[in-house]
Amino acid sequence: MNEIGLTHILFLSAILFFIGVYGFLTRRNMVTMLMSIELILNSVNINFVAFNKFLHAGKLDGTFFTIFIITIAAAEAAVAIAIIIHLYRSNKSIDVNDADLMKF
């Protein structure tokens, strides 16, 4: 029986990070892109908490950072969704390919 250690958790967070990056780059729906960003942020959160618990248990820097990231992610999502809704009112679409008024 192997115990779950830092390596496993870092592996999980790396996978989450790259799923997020892949989703952000391939999905064309703006809300899905926003969800991919949340995935990346969660992978960062896992990283911070794991490092804090396994390597630097004396201080709580990592945990505090995680709390701030969660708060800021909420603020970011709120503003982003407001802007997306505003675009939807005039464009009738939240597909990135339809937002093509400006190119090169």
Least separation in angstroms between CB 42 and another protein: 10
Smaller CB separation from another protein, 1 or 25: 25
Least separation in angstroms between CB 70 and another protein: 12
Least separation in angstroms between CB 2 and another protein: 21
DSSP state letter for 8? H
CB 62 within 8 A of CB 51: yes
Buried b (16+ CB within 10 A) or exposed e, 66-84: beeeeeebeeebeeeeeeb
**Element spanning 22, H or E:** helix 6-26
Binding region for another protein (CB under 8 A): 17, 20, 24, 30, 33-34, 37, 40-41, 43-44, 47-48, 51, 55-56, 59, 61-62, 64-65, 68-69, 72, 75-76, 79-80, 82-84, 86-87, 90-91, 99, 101-104
In this structure, the number of other CB atoms found within 10 A of the CB of residue 2 comes to 6
Smaller CB separation from another protein, 2 or 97: 97
